[in-house]
Amino acid sequence: MSGGIAPRETALSIRGLRKAFGGQPVYDGFDLDVRRGDILAIFGPNGCGKSTLINMAAGLLPHDGGEILFDGRTVADVRVGYVFQNYREALFPWRRAADNIRYPMRRLGLPAAEIERRLERLSADFRVRFDLNRYPYELSGGQQQLVSIMRSLAIEPEVLFLDEPFSALDYETTLSLRALLQDVLKGREVTSILVSHDLEESIVLADRLLMLTRRPTSVADDVPIPLPWPRTPETLGEAGFVAIKTRCLRVFTEAVAGA
């Protein structure tokens, strides 16, 4: 357990989570608390169930036991956002980019004026310079994932889940999207859980990094990341960052990969 977070400050609380695939336990009594407004990154070896964890939390996958509560409520009563790794398959290609972003707001029953207001604010926050009236397939990969991110934030989610959002993008695009995303998430104080297979990204985008072990999954290390925001490409060279990365690499080789 990652003690010390007062109940009112906890946006997401997981207790005694159990999940097995084909009789093989992935989670067997897993606990986690996520502080409101924090960005939590989850890092671990392949197949340790990082995506499984956020899919269960987001209500996309049933769990076998334990509870997942958002300030005392189950996911059905909570607005959550989700950014998929595969933006190409997550966006609706038959709707224009702007209509993709409007879609969850319409499901929420927001009035049209409010929908347009939020759409404009999102375009401004993310400094969108391309035409949102185009279809997703007419946009570049980075633009499509940006549309996905805007769509997930449009409902002003209480918790945002991001499943390896940049792993299909080139490095240059990743750097610029990371910068935009941290500005918006920190500016709006969105509680976020980021699954990543990139250690550098997990550190640079998070307030706290959870390192997971192989199955059955437990926490190998729970690393606070007190680096100042905003974090820039220069952050990657600073002593504080390097120290954290060294610690994480050691944990990864010892507890995670070696087990």
86 binds another protein (CB under 8 A): yes
Q: What residue has token string 């392949």?
A: 46
Q: Which stretch binds another protein (CB under 8 A): 15-23, 24-32, 79-87, 168-176?
A: 79-87
CB-wise, 81 or 165, nearer to another protein? 81
Site string for another protein, 194-233 (x = CB under 8 A): ----------------------------------------
Token couple for 39: 């960005």
Of 14, 58, 119, 153, the residue at the interface with another protein (CB under 8 A) is: 58
Q: What residue has token string 């035409």?
A: 131
Q: Closest distance between another protein and the C-beta of residue 83, in Å? A: 10
* Greatest extent of the chain over all pairs of C-alpha atoms, in Å: 55
Please name the residues in contact with 243: beta carbons below 8 A apart, sequence gap of 6 or more.
none
CB-wise, 63 or 214, nearer to another protein? 63
CB-wise, 58 or 181, nearer to another protein? 58
Of 25, 59, 66, 216, the residue at the interface with another protein (CB under 8 A) is: 59
Q: Hey, which residues does 192 pair with through a beta bridge?
A: 39, 160
Short-list 217, 218, 237, CA closest to 227: 237
Cα–chain-centroid distance for residue 58? 11
Site string for another protein, 89-108 (x = CB under 8 A): xxxxxx--------xx--xx
CA–CA distance, 238 with 229 (Å, rounded to integer): 13
135 binds another protein (CB under 8 A): yes
DSSP helix/strand/coil, 74: coil
Number of other CB atoms surrounding residue 179 within 10 Å? 16
130 binds another protein (CB under 8 A): no
Contact positions vs another protein (CB under 8 A): 58-60, 80-82, 84, 86, 89-94, 103-104, 107-108, 135, 137, 151, 155
